[in-house]
Amino acid sequence: MTQSTLKGLSAQFKDKLIQKTLERRLQQNQAASQAAPDDHFFRKPSTAQHTIPEAHYQFSRHPGYQQLRIINEGAERLGLKSPFFKQHEGVAGATTQIAGRELINYGSYNYLGFSGDDDVSNAAKAAIDQYGTTVSASRIVSGERPLHRQLERGLADLYGVDDAIVFVSGHATNVTTIGHLFGPKDLVLHDALIHNCTLQGTQLSGAKRLPFAHNDWAALDALLSEHRHHFERVLIVIEGIYSMDGDYPDLPRFIDIKRRHHAFLMVDEAHSLGVMGATGGGIREHFGIDGKDVDIWMGTLSKALAGCGGYIAGETALVEHLKFMAPGFLYSVGMAPPLAAASLAALTKLQLEPQRVQALQANGAYFLQQAQARGIDTGLGTGLAIIPVITGSSIRATRMSEALFQRGISVQPILFPAVPEKAARLRFFLSCQHTRAQIDHTVDAVAEELAQH
């Protein structure tokens, strides 16, 4: 498509034409990368006849990189600036600094303001003074420190379960836990909108994987009725709050189903701990259930708990098994002392300062109410920390993000293939530190920019 062809067309129509061209090129690239190899790959050719394709030994020809280039070239033709990898110059709270400008910040999940909190920062600094910046070994060898067990004990007590174990990566927590505990004779059933780490863990395990419709416990029940007897262990994986949509499951229903079908239930609380429940105890507190009603509690330390890494909480047999045999724990260095100390301090303050949770919940509810009053499509959002604004296309989401950035608002677009193209969106993370004035200004700006793009 030439520039002369595009002249005279409306901006919206040009966007659609270029997007269609981009989609076609992506499909062609994907088809080429998945094409069946020629017969000469299956027989032993002479040296003179055999030619290795460049895509097999050059990163620049890798199909994934080729797709990335196609997307970037399409963005350039549309005049879109990349919304990614902007450098933030300080603590990311209700506001942030980018290139010397202060912006209202909705791009970080510092939900309770513990990242940057004096008590939390001081705990991290004290840990460096006492233990250094790293424990320099796997915990099973010589990397164990009192902070690790104090944090794990605090998490176990929060859930009312036997024990907990912390990992140095939230994503790796699910990958190594699911990948280690389950195998080819097992089945993993998960919500259709589950996070990538569960999919990667299931792939590693070799277990059969079946998704069920989002939050549809009846669909899960039907799948188990049909398939449970074909497998040994069965794992059901759901999330406390879904990171793209800000909604949550009917947890008591899923507990009932897992009991009836003799399956394990895993709840990923990456975004719900510190957010749900009167005191931030998560989805367990929200529904008033016993922590032992769920087999595997998983969560991350990088959001409400102001650190980095992940955790598993549950019965003693589960935690001991992972500590001595899960590769992602056994062969990884122990959590860095300042990170463990920061999360431990945040966990302590969470229980002492429930007003932070209440302020967060009030801000989320207010943002959702104001947005819906202005006719903004907030998808499945429930007003619990994460609120999507559906734009309907990746191009529109990217343009909106840049327009809001120019107006002093930092919010990231979520684009295809992270979500379906028609579900492309802006994703707003709320915190307890946002003010009503900031929220009012933001909702007004979003409504105005939606009307123009």
Contact 146/342 with Cβ under 8 angstroms? Answer: no
Q: What average pLDDT does range 324-353 have in this prediction?
A: 97
Alpha helical stretches, state H, 261-353: 283-287, 316-325, 327-330, 337-352
**pLDDT at residue 49 greater than cutoff 70:** no
Q: What is the architecture of the domain spanning 95-109+354-452?
A: Alpha-Beta Complex (3.90)
Round to whole Å and give the CA distance between 411 and 145: 38
**pLDDT at residue 253 greater than cutoff 90:** yes
* CA end-to-end distance (rounded Å), the chain: 23
CA 357 vs CA 70, 114, 367, 421, 437: distances in Å? 43, 11, 15, 33, 19
Lowest mean pLDDT among 34-48, 67-81, 165-179, 183-197: 34-48
pLDDT, tens digit, 9 for 90 and up, residues 52-110: 988 898 998 898 888 888 878 877 787 788 888 889 999 999 999 999 999 999 999 99
Active-site residue numbers? 243, 271, 303
Round to whole Å and give the CA distance between 272 and 295: 17
Q: What average pLDDT does range 286-299 have in this prediction?
A: 98
Nearest to 111 by CA among 239, 277, 266: 277
Q: What average pLDDT does range 132-148 have in this prediction?
A: 97
pLDDT, tens digit, 9 for 90 and up, residues 429-439: 999 999 999 99
| Neighbouring-strand partners of residue 105 | 410
pLDDT, tens digit, 9 for 90 and up, residues 220-241: 999 999 999 999 999 999 999 9
pLDDT of residue 48: 52
What does the mean pLDDT of the chain come to?
91
pLDDT of residue 211: 98
User: If one looks up domain 118-352 in CATH, what number appears?
Assistant: 3.40.640.10
Q: Predicted confidence band at 9 (pLDDT cuts at 50, 70, 90)?
A: very low
Q: Predicted confidence band at 210 (pLDDT cuts at 50, 70, 90)?
A: very high
pLDDT of residue 183: 98
**pLDDT at residue 360 greater than cutoff 90:** yes
Q: Predicted confidence band at 5 (pLDDT cuts at 50, 70, 90)?
A: very low
Nearest to 416 by CA among 63, 75, 32: 75
Round to whole Å and give the CA distance between 325 and 177: 10
pLDDT, tens digit, 9 for 90 and up, residues 111-125: 999 999 999 999 999
Q: What average pLDDT does range 402-429 have in this prediction?
A: 94
Q: Predicted confidence band at 318 (pLDDT cuts at 50, 70, 90)?
A: very high
pTM of the model: 0.89
pLDDT of residue 31: 67
- What are the sequence ranges of the domains in the chain? 14-77, 95-109+354-452, 118-352
**pLDDT at residue 50 greater than cutoff 90:** no
pLDDT of residue 2: 46
pLDDT of residue 98: 93
Q: What average pLDDT does range 379-396 have in this prediction?
A: 95
pLDDT of residue 27: 66
Query: Is-same-fold flag (95-109+354-452; 118-352)?
Result: no
pLDDT of residue 37: 53
Q: Which tokens in the block code for residue 42?
A: 């299956």
DSSP secondary structure letters along 262-287: T-EEEEE-TTTTTTSSTTS--HHHHH
